[in-house]
Structure 1
Amino acid sequence: MTAAQTVDAFPYWRLSRRAGPPGDREIDARPFRVLVATDAWRPQVNGVVRTLEALAGEAPWHGAELRFLTPQGFRTLPMPSYPEIRLAMATPASVARAIEAARPNAIHVATEGPIGAMTRRYCLRHRLPFTTCYHTRYPEYLAARAPIPLSAAYAVLRRFHNAAAATMVATDTLRQELAGRGFDRLVRWRRGIDVDAFTGGRSDALEGLARPIFLCVARVAVEKNIEAFLKLDLPGTKVVVGDGPARAELAARYPRARFLGFLSGAALADAYASADAFVFPSLTDTFGLVVLEALAAGLPVAAYPVAGPRDILAGSGCGALDKDLAAAAMAALAIPRSRCRNFAAGHSLADSVRSFLDNVRAAQGAAALPAG
């Protein structure tokens, strides 16, 4: 295996690849190159992968190029209790070769798995600044599957992230929480989506189902708390979009719900546009991009009053937050769809990419990696 095989280079698009006037949308011929080390990558479908792919697609319009060091090109093993996730059997030497072949101006470690850990090790050994991101509440996810104390899991993550020049978080609430657990150098990364991708969906895609239609879009796994949604006493129809290890069991247990599997692109936009309310039952997500996607489609949101949905929806008038999720779902039906669309328009992908790159550049400081 060569180093080049382990690095996924996103195309560095020219201006002709995207509609729009020139001017401030022109692409710099010498991009700021960021190597992103991530254990979450295709064919996985989750918020981390979707965030990174969207980031890479928009980055060229901000003078940057993202390359990815991923499990692709390495032998992998299934993660215990979650075989859909494959863990790379990489070696420090192979990761070092991949990093050096990429010749980055900056390094970002997106996940805490084998790829992320070896990239972190390389940076520390060579005294290179790097950034990380706290995407996932792994201590809570592990606790849902095994008797692992939260304190022990957080101690491991704290050591991992505190070696970075900066650790990015999606919300101020999460920043305060992690700071209280001893995490250092926390910076906000403003999240956003390609709003236009979700504004033109067909409203008849779920025609024939009893209304109101309550939609949940998520990886179908225990940590997403989807069963809390399926248990709700609601009129109409419950629809679940997504796949995962718990799908077969939940579909058998709740035969009246409709499980549509994984959807993307226009099909996903159609599902949002066809529903009457979006229900987000997670108690552990650090943000929840699907909430922004639903709002972009004009779909009001119902959720528990926890970090993530509370940070997104507080004061917006676009969602209902209640410890009684059924009450929140019914209240969401009265929210105007136009209000949701207008709110989502303020959470663009361009703003998110600028925020990410500002954090990466600031973390380099005087010790920036040489341009190459």
Structure 2
Amino acid sequence: MSQPHRFDVTVMLDYYAPYVSGLTESARLTAEGLARRGWKVAVVCARHDPALPRHEVLHGVHVFRAPVLARVSRGFLSPALPVLAGKLAARSDILHMHLPNPEAAFVAAARGPAKLVVTYHIDAFLPDGVVNRLGLWAVDQACKAAVRKADLVITNSEEQARGSRIWPTIRRRALLPIPSPCLDRSGGEPRLRDGDGLHIGFMGRITVEKGIEYLIRAFRAIPDPAARLLIAGDDRSVAGGSNIAQLRREAGDDPRIRFTGLLRGQAVRDFYASIDVFALPSIAESFGIVQVEAMMTGVPPVTTELPGSDYPVKATGFGRLVPPRDPAALRAALLEVARLPAEDRAAGREAAVKLFGGETSLDAHEEAFRRLRGRP
């Protein structure tokens, strides 16, 4: 398959499409958006699924996948990944790395003359334990080493950067807050609704850090038999494994709770059209693309107050913030925003679209990259 001799930008991360996560989607939408605008873009990532090709072109983006030798917790062992990333960076003007990433230090050191942009999405998260604490420390050191070499560091917001474990390193580099790209998911049909009762929705990876058990506890304390809770997201191919079994135990025999699995395309639009309130009960989160997508359809979110993930609610005034791991506060907030009148929902939607909609994020990325190349 033919490919350019040189690339304008090489994007490096562990997981890429068809894998779905907030980090992956942010990287994909930015890469594909630049390609649409005429940039030559490569992505180098791990071949997390052996069935995926080593090289293909997806929506104008050349995707190169390095073989995986073994899986380790949420990551993997892929000695070929930093080597391949270094080779592609040598053929590129800019290397754009998405962190956290355990290979970050090696790739940053081997990038050659390419300008280095680091997008730091979130501090790595693992359930508490001696081994996991050691793993988090190692990933943090790799990320700090990459940040020290960066010509530019991008975060979703300055608040997210300041709340990071590696803020003392980030603050010494050029920092540019750019919210993750968000899609307008309006125009769906309420195909997932079941009656006229209150419908609460969650969408995201079904993992421990999403705090879904606290949402289930909050919902089960709502006595209304007509209420419904829709939990949408991947529980089968999640890096590090899913906690779906625990969540099904939490749901028990409550027939009002439905796990939909991973939704794509039109089904995502239909999901937002089917709910009255969106819940993001995470215990680790840095932005929450899904809550902004809900906002842009006029659905108010209830989000845990964490550095970065609280930014969309604070910036728009649309939705409510609650402490993490607090089902009682979550329940009260969900019932409160469910009563928001149509005019407040419309105003919230307008504010979200203005701040996060369209190609605002892509415009900011493109301008930053042009300046790094000396071509404003």
Give the TM-score category using the shorter length: 0.7 to 0.9
Aligned partner of residue 206 in structure 1, secondary structure:
coil
Which of residues 190, 194, 210 in structure 1 aligns to 2:179? Answer: 190
Among residues 75, 96, 109, which one is paired with 2:67 in the alignment?
Answer: 75
Give the Cα separation in 2 of the matches to 1:191 and 1:299: 19
State the shift of 1:165 in Å: 1.1
Partners of 1:268 and 1:341 lie apart in 2 by: 17
Question: Which 10-residue stretch deviates more, 158-167 or 91-100?
Answer: 91-100
Per-residue CA distance 1:133-154 (angstroms, 9 max, x = gap): 111220x436479551676754
**CA displacement 1:330-358 (0-9 Å, x = unmatched):** 11112233223212221124110111222
User: 1:286 matched to which residue of 2?
Assistant: 286
Amino acid corresponding to residue 121 of structure 1 in structure 2: A
* CA distance in 2: counterparts of 1:151 and 1:118, whole angstroms: 16
- For the residues of structure 1 that align with 2:306 and 2:82, how far apart are their CA atoms? 39
For 1:251 and 1:214, how far apart are their aligned partners in 2? 17
Moved more, 302-311 or 261-270: 302-311
> Is the contact between residue 154 and residue 176 of structure 2 (CA under 8 Å) also seen in structure 1?
yes
Give the equivalent residue in structure 1 for 2:160.
174
Matched letter for residue 201 of structure 1: G
- Seen in structure 2, the aligned counterparts of structure 1 residues 129 and 92 have a Cα distance that, compared at 3 Å, is same
Confirm whether residue 208 of structure 1 aligns to residue 194 of structure 2.
Answer: yes
Question: After the TM superposition, which residues 96-245 of structure 1 pair with which residues of structure 2 at under 5 Å, given as runs?
Answer: 96-100=86-90, 103-113=91-101, 116-123=104-111, 126-138=112-124, 140-141=125-126, 143=128, 146-148=131-133, 154-178=140-164, 180-183=167-170, 184-185=172-173, 186-195=175-184, 198-203=185-190, 205-208=191-194, 211-232=197-218, 233-234=221-222, 235=224, 236-244=227-235, 245=242
Aligned positions of 1:1-372 closer than 5 A: 33-72=8-47, 73=54, 74-77=66-69, 79-82=71-74, 87-90=77-80, 93-100=83-90, 103-113=91-101, 116-123=104-111, 126-138=112-124, 140-141=125-126, 143=128, 146-148=131-133, 154-178=140-164, 180-183=167-170, 184-185=172-173, 186-195=175-184, 198-203=185-190, 205-208=191-194, 211-232=197-218, 233-234=221-222, 235=224, 236-244=227-235, 245-255=242-252, 256=254, 257-314=257-314, 316-323=316-323, 324-335=329-340, 336=342, 337-346=345-354, 347-364=356-373
* Cα distance per residue 1:5-59 (max 9 Å; x no partner): 9x9x9xxxxxxxxxxxxxxxxxxxxx98211011121332101111122112322
In the TM superposition, structure 1's runs of 4+ consecutive aligned residues that sit over 6 Å from their partners are: 149-152
**Corresponding residue for residue 51 of structure 2:** none
Letter in 1 for 2:300: P
Q: Which amino acid in the other structure matches residue 55 of structure 1?
A: T
Question: Percent identity, aligned pairs only?
Answer: 22
- Are the aligned partners of 1:277 and 1:301 in contact in 2 as well (CA < 8 Å)? yes
Considering only aligned residues, what root-mean-square deviation do their CA atoms show, in Å? 3.0
List per-residue Cα deviations over 1:284-342 (Å, max 9, x = no partner).
21111001111122211111222233211115232011331111111111223322321
| Cα 1:91/1:307, change in 2 over 3 Å | closer
TM-score between the two structures when normalised by the length of structure 2: 0.78
- CA–CA distance in 1 between the matches of 2:158 and 2:211? 23
- Count of paired positions: 331
SS in 2 for 1:314: helix
Unaligned runs of 5+ in 2: 48-53, 55-65, 236-241, 324-328
2:26 alignment partner AA: T
What TM-score do you get using the length of structure 1 for normalisation? 0.79
Classify 1:40/1:171 alpha carbon distance in 2 versus 1 (closer, same or farther; 3 Å). Answer: same
> 1:154, 1:110 → 2: CA distance?
13
